[in-house]
Amino acid sequence: EPEVTQTPSHQVTQMGQEVILRCVPISNHLYFYWYRQILGQKVEFLVSFYNNEISEKSEIFDDQFSVERPDGSNFTLKIRSTKLEDSAMYFCASSEGQREQYFGPGTRLTVT
Amino acid sequence: GEDVEQSLFLSVREGDSSVINCTYTDSSSTYLYWYKQEPGAGLQLLTYIFSNMDMKQDQRLTVLLNKKDKHLSLRIADTQTGDSAIYFCAEGLGYQKVTFGTGTKLQVIP
């Protein structure tokens, strides 16, 4: 069964460093998303992406964040200068048009 | 704005049925989802129901939707220890953001 994959599974970085989280969505899906879950809290929407453009973003997704689809298979989330409060589990998701969203296993980001 | 509420904890005995409840506020939602999260793992899409349906059954899982009261429930028949996890209720339009509840931690007692 096709699934969303994410790398790395765990990333440790120092405050102020840039990180790139990678996702490979399900191959025939056209809509891509990033969410995050701070430990013990709700899963929060960050951004949605379609047709090489951001289609929706939350107030969390400020200028420190960016997304890119650098090739036909990868979808990345970049955090330019990480803060302690960016520590969270980051989930990528994809959907086939206006359909249900499938999530990847997540990348645990630890900022020290 | 959208909001999804769930109780935080449910404990059941193995073999019993579990019922996890959820209320939501956005009446325009097309999809109502149930996701399962095991410790340290990602979000597994368990099942979903379209907003124009009342009920959906999938093996041991039954989803009931009361659109008038904006109430969603997930029933797990013959609950097993492997069902122990956090269950998230969520709502969305399909191609837009999904709004998640706080999650209900299901503990299955052998």
Give B86→chain A minimum CA distance, Å.
Answer: 11
Q: What is the model's pLDDT at position B47?
A: 93
Instruction: Report how far residue B8's alpha carbon sits from residue A42's, in angstroms, rounded to the nearest whole number.
Output: 12
Instruction: Report how far residue B57's alpha carbon sits from residue B55's, in angstroms, rounded to the nearest whole number.
Output: 7
The first and second tokens of residue A73, run together, are 């298979």
- Taking any CB pair shorter than 8 Å as contact, residues of chain A touching chain B are 31, 33, 35, 42-45, 48, 50, 55-56, 58, 91, 93, 95, 97-106
Whose CA is closest to A61, among A45, A80, A81, A46? A46
Contacts of A40 (CB under 8 A, 6+ apart): none
pLDDT reading at B97 higher than 70? yes
Please state, rounded to an integer, the average pLDDT across all residues of chain A.
94
pLDDT reading at B1 higher than 80? no
pLDDT in tens, B9-53: 999 999 999 999 999 988 787 889 999 999 878 899 999 998 888
Q: What is the model's pLDDT at position A99?
A: 78
Give, for all 112 residues of chain A, the pLDDT tens digit.
Answer: 789 999 999 999 999 999 999 999 999 899 999 999 998 888 999 999 999 999 999 999 999 999 999 887 899 999 999 999 999 999 999 998 777 889 999 999 999 9
Cβ-Cβ pairs closer than 8 A, A with B, add up to 60
Q: Give A15's DSSP letter.
A: T
pLDDT in tens, A42-63: 899 999 999 999 999 999 999 9
